[in-house]
Amino acid sequence: MADTARDAPPEQTDFHELEDGEELFPEPATTQESQPASLAAEDISTNSNGPKQDSLFDDDPEDLFAEATEEVSLDSPERDVLLSDGPSPAITPITPPTSVITPRIGHTHDDMFTHSSFDEIEEEEGGDSFDIHISVSDPEKVGDGMNAYMAYKVTTKTSMSLFKRSEFAVKRRFSDFLGLHSKLASKYLHIGYIVPPAPEKSIVGMTKVKVGKEDQSSNEFVEKRRSALERYLMRTVKHPILLKDPDVLQFLESSELPRAVSTQALSSAGLLRMVNKAADAVNKMTIKMNESDAWFEEKQQHFENLDVQLRKLHTSVESLVCHRKELSVNTAQFAKSAAMLGNSEDHTALSRALSQLAEVEEKIDQLHQDQANADFYLFSELLGDYVRLLTAVKGVFDHRMKTWQKWQDSQMLLQKKREAEAKLQFTNKPDKLQQAKDEIKELEGKVQQGERDFEQISKTIRKEVSRFEKERVKDFKTIIIKYLESLVQTQQQVNKNISYIFHYN
């Protein structure tokens, strides 16, 4: 190896000049700063592909998310009930053999839904305060080959009298969720209720799982879906009307559920739905409504703008997730390369320094990976959910227009019939005259109903939009804060690692 006689510069190389005993990374002063979550520590130690240096992470046992919930929520008695539930263990590994990833998300319970927004809504339904929590967990593959499917455990915890028990669980598959949504949509959308959309189908993703590929990407797919299903259910039950719907109750409570057949991706029902959607789109363009109420026009414009911006933001965040994952991979590769370089360097101190650099980079690459997951599960999925929700919102506005159209059509028809009747007055056809009078009576009823329907849907939409906007504000605030907290956490860990370069000797 290296002949030390040849090391011309004296061996006081290294980083002595830096290590004055002076702490380069000052101890965090306030409680806000010292919040490395126990979750993160747990995660890094199981996932780190670097040497285990547990001394690096002085774990603050304080749960980051609990503290966040406290600070974000508004003052309300219901809050205490929910918080006393406590944040449940964050990560539910996938049941089929090896859990390849355990993303550091902790969202299964400590997400945007751990506080109530209901107390603000003028609720005629007295009685229970809103206290219900749903989790989707334990994905399990049932069956084999192309007929296989994922079964998820849906657990409900509640104190509401609406339910027979306070804690219960059922097994559901993806098509069950779609079936639920389908029923709710057909019942409530056309009268103006914003029914939360179900998670999207993915033929590619699901096929990989069915075929039995137990790799990282199929595990990620299952986790993504599980999380989406959970958010879907929580959004649905947060709606005071939907919560009480018998289909929802049956979905949550009954152990056996008739298989929802019409939700198959390429079923005839599915095709029919697609055709109807297209027809609707065409109709929408041709309806010119006399908007007497500026509120609706303003709101529609608002949602239109919001939609455009959220889609744009969503795309950027997705890009960030992708690039951060790349950064993680590239950092890991660089770490290996730096280690190799350190090995071949024949100056001992420099060799050691390069190895240290390699070690630090290896830890940092794991942090990048974790952050990418947070980027995705917190930020990106929220945006995706809202892009889909806005479709539902725009849908109810469209239904209002259709309702208006129907009313107008009835009115026009009535008008025609009246004109016809007037003409008949001058002919000698008593039967026809009577028939016309009967038809007119019927139509008058229809017109009145049409007007009532229109007024009702308008009223419902106003309420729904108000509720939706409140939810939106809460959701975004909560998630943004959680996201920033994840960034703080990652940054703290990165800082720890960098400062280690100076102390390592």
Partner 1 sequence: SAVLNVDLQTDAMLQVDISDALSERDKVKFTVHTKSTLPNFKQNEFSVVRQHEEFIWLHDSFVENEEYAGYIIPPAPPRPDFDASREKLQKLGEGEGSMTKEEFTKMKQELEAEYLAIFKKTVAMHEVFLCRVAAHPVLRKDLNFHVFLEYNQDLSVRGKNKKEKLEDFFKNVVKSADGVLVAGVKDVDDFFEHEKTFLLEYHNRVKDASAKSDRMIRSHKNAADDINRIASSLYTLGTQDSTDLCKFFLKVSELFEKTRKIEARIAADEDLKLADLLKYYLRESQAAKDLLYRRSRALVDYENANKALDKARAKNRDVLQAETSQQLCCHKFEKISESAKQELIDFKTRRVAAFRKNLVELAELELKHAKGNLQLLQGCLGILKGNT
Residues that bind partner 1 (CB under 8 A): 3, 6-9, 13-15, 17-18, 24-25, 32-33, 71-72, 302, 305-306, 309-310, 312-313, 316-317, 319-320, 323-324, 326-327, 330-331, 333-334, 336-338, 340-341, 343-347, 349-350, 353-354, 357, 469, 472-473, 476-477, 480-481, 484-485, 487-488, 491-492, 494-495, 498-499, 501-502
User: Strand ranges (DSSP E) for 261-334?
Assistant: none
Q: Shortest gap between Cβ of 100 and partner 1 (angstroms)? A: 23
Cβ atoms of residues 205 and 228 within 8 Å: no
Which residue number, 39 or 310, has a Cβ lying nearer to partner 1? 310
Which residue number, 189 or 487, has a Cβ lying nearer to partner 1? 487
Which residue number, 7 or 78, has a Cβ lying nearer to partner 1? 7
Which residue number, 182 or 356, has a Cβ lying nearer to partner 1? 356
Q: Shortest gap between Cβ of 36 and partner 1 (angstroms)? A: 12
* Residue 392 structure tokens: 């539902």
Report how far residue 316's alpha carbon sits from residue 320's, in angstroms, rounded to the nearest whole number.
6
Which residue number, 64 or 154, has a Cβ lying nearer to partner 1? 64
What phi, psi does 191 have (nearest 5°)? -105, 15
Nearest to 196 by CA among 224, 231, 171, 222: 231
User: Which strands make up the sheet holding 132-142, listed edge to edge?
Assistant: 132-142, 149-158, 167-173
* Residue 169 structure tokens: 């669980």
Nearest 5°: CA angle at 113, between 112 and 119? Answer: 120
Q: Shortest gap between Cβ of 175 and partner 1 (angstroms)? A: 35
Q: Shortest gap between Cβ of 386 and partner 1 (angstroms)? A: 11
**Which secondary-structure segment (H or E) carries 151?**
strand 149-158
Report how far residue 433's alpha carbon sits from residue 197's, in angstroms, rounded to the nearest whole number.
50
Which residue number, 458 or 499, has a Cβ lying nearer to partner 1? 499
Which residue number, 440 or 481, has a Cβ lying nearer to partner 1? 481
Report how far residue 229's alpha carbon sits from residue 202's, in angstroms, rounded to the nearest whole number.
13
Q: Which DSSP string corresponds to 348-402?
A: HHHHHHHHHHHHHHHHHHHHHHHHHHHIIIIIIHHHHHHHHHHHHHHHHHHHHHH
**Other residues' Cβ atoms within 10 Å of the Cβ of residue 411:** 16
State how far the alpha carbon of 56 is from the alpha carbons of 36, 100, 358, 492, in Å: 12, 24, 16, 12
Strand pairing report for 167-173 and 132-142: unpaired
Which residue number, 108 or 369, has a Cβ lying nearer to partner 1? 369
Q: Shortest gap between Cβ of 496 and partner 1 (angstroms)? A: 9
Which residue number, 412 or 484, has a Cβ lying nearer to partner 1? 484
Which residue number, 17 or 431, has a Cβ lying nearer to partner 1? 17
Q: Shortest gap between Cβ of 485 and partner 1 (angstroms)? A: 7
Q: Shortest gap between Cβ of 241 and partner 1 (angstroms)? A: 23
Which residue number, 168 or 502, has a Cβ lying nearer to partner 1? 502
Report how far residue 150's alpha carbon sits from residue 218's, in angstroms, rounded to the nearest whole number.
12
Which residue number, 24 or 440, has a Cβ lying nearer to partner 1? 24
Q: Shortest gap between Cβ of 499 and partner 1 (angstroms)? A: 6
* Residue 495 structure tokens: 């800082």
**Other residues' Cβ atoms within 10 Å of the Cβ of residue 217:** 13
Q: Shortest gap between Cβ of 481 and partner 1 (angstroms)? A: 6
Q: Shortest gap between Cβ of 49 and partner 1 (angstroms)? A: 16
Nearest to 129 by CA among 77, 72, 166: 77
Q: Shortest gap between Cβ of 345 and partner 1 (angstroms)? A: 7
Cβ atoms of residues 192 and 170 within 8 Å: no
Q: Shortest gap between Cβ of 213 and partner 1 (angstroms)? A: 27
| SS3 at position 163 | coil
Report how far residue 363's alpha carbon sits from residue 375's, in angstroms, rounded to the nearest whole number.
18
Report how far residue 386's alpha carbon sits from residue 472's, in angstroms, rounded to the nearest whole number.
8
Report how far residue 144's alpha carbon sits from residue 223's, in angstroms, rounded to the nearest whole number.
20
